[in-house]
Amino acid sequence: MSSTKRTIIPRVAPGNPRIDSLSQQPNILVNQVSVDYPVYTQRGVRGRRVRKIVHAVQPLSFTAHEGEFIGLVGRNGSGKSSLLRVIAGLESSTTGTVYASARPSLVGVGAALNQELTGRQNIALGCLAMGLKKHQLAEAEHKVIELAGIGEAIDRPMRTYSSGMGARLRFAISLAAKPRIMLIDEALSTGDAAYAERSAQAMQEVLDDAGTVFLVSHAAQTIEDLCNRAIWLDFGEFVMDGDAREVARKYRWFAHNLAQGDEAKAAQLLADAKALGAQGYVQDSGA
């Protein structure tokens, strides 16, 4: 695999109507990025392993701007996580290049937490790993504890946490470093309504600070509630890129038909969405 280059993106000249209307600069530029995985699945003649290539992400190009909260939707195996990992720099793309205006932060990965340490100790460990200075720790600890909202468990070893508690702490630690480009590939539905509101507020602060957030989710409602743009992938290809409400609405209807076993209808909806997506950024129809 070729390595994914990561350089500061140039300031773009006005001219693109979408960029002009947003009056924003791109934070991420994905240029012809594809991801192939070699897999060895079957036994061939004389017990030989057969090498196959899975095209997880077909060549994709798009730009993500300041203030955009982008949902990535698509059925299982559609390439969402692979794309996010390439943007995060955790994986090389097979072809193409990702340009970023700042180092993207994939929630939960930047901070290598230790299960034997308490939540509070892990906050210090995680924040230092993400580049915070010692004198910033006290304030960061306060913010992380407030956001994670896991009560007295903060002084217990992390191995005693439920998966939801661990996810909340990792999410809060990732935000402490004030990332400009934030990538989220885990359920945000790990807490009550108050936590959901606090985390939405925290992500809004990233956006207000000229940041960009990517969120992978199967839940069309989450995308609709939180995001202002959504990209729908299927078999590693773009289906639609556009207004979050519009994309989520169409994806929800597709997923519903698929779940009902009406594959013909689902295939028709997918084809319609692709045809619409091929025309460019899909605007909110207001329907």
Ligand X SMILES: Nc1ncnc2c1ncn2[C@@H]1O[C@H](COP(=O)(O)OP(=O)(O)OP(=O)(O)O)[C@@H](O)[C@H]1O
Query: What gap in Å lies between CA 94 and CA 36, rounded to an integer?
Result: 6
Q: Which two tokens stand for residue 102?
A: 């700042």
Q: How many residues does the chain have?
A: 287
Q: Are 68 and 206 in contact (CB under 8 A)?
A: no
Q: Is 257 strand, coil or helix?
A: helix
Size of interface with ligand X, in residues (CB under 6 A): 12
- 41 lines the binding site for ligand X (CB under 6 A): no
Binding mask 122-161 for ligand X (x = CB under 6 A): ----------------------------------------
Q: Are 99 and 29 in contact (CB under 8 A)?
A: yes
Stretch that binds ligand X, among 15-23, 70-78, 167-175, 277-285 (CB under 6 A): 70-78
Q: Half-sphere exposure of 206 toward its Cβ, with a 13 Å CA cutoff? A: 30
Residue (76 or 283) nearer to ligand X, CB: 76
- 79 lines the binding site for ligand X (CB under 6 A): yes
φ and ψ of 101, to 5 deg:
-85, -10
- 107 lines the binding site for ligand X (CB under 6 A): no
Q: Which of 12, 19, 54, 128 binds ligand X (CB under 6 A)?
A: 54
How far is it between the farthest Cα atoms of the chain? 64
- 232 lines the binding site for ligand X (CB under 6 A): no
Question: Please, which residues bridge with residue 63 across strands?
Answer: 29
- 219 lines the binding site for ligand X (CB under 6 A): no
Stretch that binds ligand X, among 75-83, 187-195, 223-231, 249-257 (CB under 6 A): 75-83
Residue (4 or 122) nearer to ligand X, CB: 4
Q: Which of 28, 29, 56, 158 binds ligand X (CB under 6 A)?
A: 56
Q: Are 273 and 254 in contact (CB under 8 A)?
A: yes
Q: Which of 12, 22, 77, 117 binds ligand X (CB under 6 A)?
A: 77
Q: Which of 3, 21, 41, 76 binds ligand X (CB under 6 A)?
A: 76
Q: Which two tokens stand for residue 196?
A: 């959901």
Pick from 124, 222, 235, 131: which is nearest to 179 by CA?
A: 131
Residue ranges binding ligand X (CB under 6 A): 37, 39, 54, 56, 74, 76-82
